[in-house]
Chain A
């Protein structure tokens, strides 16, 4: 069955970096894009980034543009979210989700990984 497992979250100081991973299994990874969506404590969903099925295109939300980089390694069935210059407002649970077809057809979600940015 399809599984997405995020890892790499934790506590980090403002201005530092963190890399999240999203390991996928149970489907042909190279045929589907991945999105990252985050949720601050007690808040709603916020889109973070998209990476195309072949890694050729990426898009970012305004709040992370220029600081976060998403990449896809089809040989390892893994997507990475490199987060630099972290801020307190980046504190959230980060989910990776699979895209099937249209961009908002997010049919499988990981369990999420918590990132806390605090000194």
Chain B
């Protein structure tokens, strides 16, 4: 049971848009930055979004992040088959004094 809640899976057609939610509480998302990570099959995770809505260099602007209250959202537009991956949100939990991750969301591009 993860501290952060993500849907297990989402799917959409190529070219479409998809959003992935990450729900937490005031001790984690509500008062700390959120990051998003992409894990392509068989590879290590990579940083996709940091500090709620910033993209590292090299990450296309098709990927976006937002936060409102105790929830965060990852948006992906112009879906490509290469976007098929597992996506994880993560943040610091001030009550637990721990890094917490969501359970992950598997994106399928139909």
A interface residue numbers (CB < 8 A to B)? 35, 37, 44-47, 50, 59, 61-62, 95, 101-107, 109-112
Q: Are B101 and A45 in contact (CB under 8 A)?
A: yes
Q: Are B2 and A47 in contact (CB under 8 A)?
A: no
For residue A62, which residues in chain B have a CB less than 8 angstroms away from its CB?
Answer: 96, 98
Q: Are A104 and B34 in contact (CB under 8 A)?
A: yes
The one of A61, A106, A112 that contacts B37, using a Cβ cutoff of 8 Å:
A106
Task: For B102, give the chain A residue with the smallest CB separation.
Answer: A44
For residue A110, which residues in chain B have a CB less than 8 angstroms away from its CB?
Answer: 44
Task: Mark contacts of B46-84 with chain A using CB atoms, 8 A cut-off: 1 yes-contact digit, 0 otherwise.
Answer: 110011000010000000000000000000000000000
For residue B103, which residues in chain A have a CB less than 8 angstroms away from its CB?
Answer: 44
27 A–B pairs (Cβ distance < 8 Å), ordered by A = A37-B101, A44-B86, A44-B88, A44-B102, A44-B103, A45-B37, A45-B39, A46-B101, A47-B98, A47-B99, A47-B101, A50-B99, A59-B98, A101-B51, A102-B50, A103-B92, A104-B35, A104-B90, A104-B91, A104-B92, A105-B33, A105-B47, A105-B50, A105-B51, A106-B35, A111-B44, A112-B44
B interface residue numbers (CB < 8 A to A)? 2, 32-35, 37, 39, 44-47, 50-51, 56, 86, 88, 90-92, 96-104
Apart from the given pairs A102-B33, A107-B50, 18 other A-B contacts in the complex at a CB distance below 8 Å: A35-B99, A44-B88, A44-B101, A44-B102, A44-B104, A45-B101, A46-B101, A47-B100, A59-B97, A95-B44, A104-B33, A104-B99, A105-B33, A105-B47, A105-B50, A105-B51, A106-B47, A109-B44
